[in-house]
Amino acid sequence: ETESFDWLVCDVWMPGRSGIELAARVRALDPSIGIVVMSAWVLSPSDQRTVAQLGGTYLTKPVVAGSLAHHCGATTTRWDRRR
């Protein structure tokens, strides 16, 4: 049995692998998933481009719940247009 998810919401800095690496792997497995990557630190321009190429959104913490919900909707719309 497999499960599907609508969203991947992760931090950039995680033990064992970066959130950006995780996002790329998840995108390869599920092209329809929404991706939100966040961090308390500013991402390099290269990492910002990678997140954008994955169809994801980057947020700087702390993140307000309403802002997260807004960006999740924007990510879905942007990714749907790219497919």
In three-state form (DSSP H/G/I as H, E/B as E, the rest C), the secondary structure along 8-76 is EEEECCCCCCCHHHHHHHHHHHCCCCEEEEEECCCCCHHHHHHHHHCCCEEEECCCCHHHHHHHHHHHH
**Residue with the larger pLDDT of the pair 2 and 39:** 39
Position 75 pLDDT exceeds 60: no
Q: For the whole model, what pTM was predicted?
A: 0.78
DSSP state of 81: H
pLDDT category at 6 given cuts 50, 70, 90 is confident
pLDDT, one tens digit per residue, over 39-72 is 999 899 999 999 999 999 999 999 888 888 887 7
Position 4 pLDDT exceeds 90: no
Distance CA 31, CA 28 (A): 6
